[in-house]
Amino acid sequence: MARNDLIGGALWEEYSQEVQKRMDNPANMGEITEEQAGDNTLVIADFGAESCGDAVRLYWLIDPKDDTIINSKFKSFGCGTAIASSDMMAELCMGKSVDEALKITNIDVEKALRDNEDIPAVPGQKMHCSVMAYDVIKKAASIYKNVDMDSFEDEFILCECARVTQDTVQEVIHLNKLTSIEEITNYTKAGAFCKSCIKPGGHEKKDVYLIDLLTVALNEMEAEEKSRKIIEAKGDGTFESMGLVQKIKAVESILEEYIRPTLKADGGNVELIDIKEADGVFEVLIKYQGECMSCSMNTTTTLAGIEDMLKFKLKAPLKVIVT
């Protein structure tokens, strides 16, 4: 049975058996001394999490010939979850090059601690412990490479627990037209763990929160929708005033909604080639595809149907021409 921890009178979610085992008997806890290092390079890195007061010290024994981490040990100054996460982190580093170790994320650490791949190893409130394990890797690599650890981050991390960037959240919201925090979490995992990144009031203060990005995105999407409706409204009566790109979009939307479904049902299709103006009449150039190419009605009934639909929807003088 997985253990439940009772802290401050609140029943915490279950921990995995793997986490419990490493809490009680960490396999990689200890230190590496200069005497043990010999001709290899010893790196000692410290990192603390301000949000909970936990800290970890990481020891790397590195072969300077190929930057391989020969051995990895840790000391943890914090809760049991920090010990288990640090123990797994140290284990994942061994045998990898420094650059390969840098690719280990907090999600990798947490997943490696799971008993079941679909069940989180630790409660969301404790996810920051695996983040600390990830951050101390960056600290050790920065010492070995003699660079600032911030140089390993080229984007702003909004959700530290899931290592999700602000750019990713913004892109996913717009791409999928998300309208709630729950949807953002489902798509990105941001906000799924300690929840500090969702809105002010969590255990860790943020400069930007998910609710801020969602509010901005919803306002932008609302403005875009209003603009689209205005353009569509104008298209109903003023097709002539549109630019070429707008005309093409207007014709394409009608073809896609009213014409293509019928043609595709019979194995055919139609492609919009161009729109030209001649003597006040808009010539819509199309090309048949599939079965429509050999259909006897492609220059009579079908052509007339397409032209009638476009005239009705666009309220404009136009003629459809097959190329």
Which residues are part of the catalytic machinery? 52, 129
Nearest to 85 by CA among 51, 113, 120: 113
Q: What is the C-alpha to C-alpha distance for residues 161 and 83, in angstroms, rounded to an integer?
A: 17
- The 10 Å Cβ neighbour count of residue 183 is 15
Q: What is the C-alpha to C-alpha distance for residues 285 and 270, in angstroms, rounded to an integer?
A: 10
Q: What is the C-alpha to C-alpha distance for residues 7 and 225, in angstroms, rounded to an integer?
A: 48
* Locus of tokens 């979490």: 185
Nearest to 70 by CA among 62, 59, 80, 82: 62
Nearest to 208 by CA among 188, 193, 191, 223: 191
Contacts of 314 (CB under 8 A, 6+ apart): 235, 236, 239, 250, 251, 254
205-208-209 Cα angle (round to 5): 80
Three-state DSSP at 68 gives strand
Helix ranges (H only) for the chain are: 17-24, 34-37, 80-93, 98-101, 106-112, 128-145, 166-176, 181-188, 210-237, 244-254, 260-265, 301-314
Q: How many residues are given for the chain?
A: 323
